Amino acid sequence: QLQQSGPGLVKPSQTLSLTCAISGESVSSDSAAWHWIRQSPSRGLEWLGRTYYRSQWFNDYAVSVRSRIIFNTDTSKNQVSLQLKSVTPEDTAVYYCARWESYGEYFEQWGQGTRVIVSS
Amino acid sequence: DIQMTQSPSSLSASIGDRVTITCQASQDIADFLNWYQQKPGKAPELLIFAASKLETGVPSRFSGSGSGTDFTLTIRGLQPDDVATYYCQHYDNLPLTFGGGTNVEIK
């Protein structure tokens, strides 16, 4: 199960921070990758990136946000987090974390989604 | 980036109808395609993976076909519970991209 947390309102130019707590599986599982996806009426479903562990941690980011985004992992809390810096109203969206099943190659599980509004 | 084009963007059909949704990739993606169903206020849920494989627990009225650039999601015998938006998603390479969605309503 994936449980998301984080603020629903962020001011322009500030940093959006979201956390995805994972239960029932280790965040370091070699059969999973943890992705972030956002959804807005203007952009639809937009993949933001992924983090996964295969003897070491790997991150891949979408080009559109690469200069502003960071993924972190807290193995003691079994959670992943997203930080998106210098947000603008265009970053307003519902943000999802999702578990990618690496053997079947599909999004097997999604967080409940966090609606984030960027506004002053 | 691979562009995924879905059609139609919305449709209205009667209970029991056969519904067909198409998804076209901008380049050959073999069978690296998944289909998801999203109901209002909820996260997407997997229906079909690898173009034609039915996810466990998904009703057999759902089926997927296609390979290369052209794919189809079919609902045989539309049910009220199928009212949702359907998305295709490729995983041939990064970035993963989704189609624009098809909103299915009951006539």
What are B3-60's pLDDT values in tens digits?
Answer: 999 999 999 999 999 999 999 999 999 999 999 999 999 999 999 999 999 999 999 9
Would you say B91 and B35 are in contact if contact means Cβ atoms under 8 Å apart?
no
Q: What is the pLDDT of residues B62-100, one digit of tens each?
A: 999 999 999 999 999 999 999 999 999 999 999 999 999
Q: What is the pLDDT of residues B34-45, one digit of tens each?
A: 999 999 999 999
* Beta strand pairing call for B10-13 and B102-106: parallel
E strand spans, A1-120: 2-5, 9-10, 16-22, 32-40, 44-53, 57-61, 69-74, 79-84, 93-101, 106-110, 114-118
Residues of chain B contacting A, Cβ within 8 Å: 32, 34, 36, 42-46, 49-50, 55, 87, 89, 91, 94-98, 100-101
CA separation for the pair B48, A85 (Å, rounded):
35
Alpha-carbon distance values, B94 to A94, B35, B68 (Å): 21, 17, 17
Chain B residues within an 8 Å CB radius of A45 = 44, 87, 89, 98, 101
The answer on pLDDT for A104 being more than 90 is no
| Measured distance between the N- and C-terminal CA atoms of chain B, rounded to whole angstroms | 36
Chain A residues within an 8 Å CB radius of B43 = 96, 98, 110-113
